[in-house]
Amino acid sequence: MLTFEDDKYSEFMTEIMRALEISYTPKDKMLAIELDECNQLTFVMSGKYNVGYEINKKRYFRKQFGPSTIIGAFNVFYKTRHLFIMKAHTEMISYIIRKQKWFSIMS
């Protein structure tokens, strides 16, 4: 089992904590647009955001997510672009790790 007493695990977690940046997102700000490149992992701490799609220049939001979710994990890990649009439903406070920093930690 991994614990902070394990030197490699402790070092890894410390690097992640150093890489975190706090981020504030105002209500109604677009977080992602379909086919945009994903350049960060976003760990949502408070607030809610909507996820949906766009057809013929009209946006439809179908799902809502909140704290304890991560935006961009799939996109960063698999080097894909956003498949959906995302918009802040309320003010959001998040922690982010930029893609380049994540890959340097993982190497």
| Full pLDDT tens readout for the chain, 107 residues | 667 678 888 888 899 999 999 999 999 999 999 999 999 999 999 999 999 999 999 999 999 999 999 999 999 999 999 999 999 999 999 999 999 999 999 88
Residue 50 and residue 89 in contact, taking contact as beta carbons nearer than 8 Å:
yes
Domains and CATH numbers, the chain: 21-106 (2.60.120.10)
Residue 26 and residue 90 in contact, taking contact as beta carbons nearer than 8 Å:
no
Q: Residue 6's pLDDT is what?
A: 82
Instruction: Extract the runs of DSSP E, i.e. beta strands, from the chain.
Output: 21-25, 30-32, 40-46, 49-55, 58-65, 69-71, 85-88, 92-98
Residue 11 identity (one-letter amino acid): E
The model's pTM: 0.86
Residue 89 and residue 47 in contact, taking contact as beta carbons nearer than 8 Å:
yes
Query: Which residue reads 């350049």 in tokens?
Result: 39
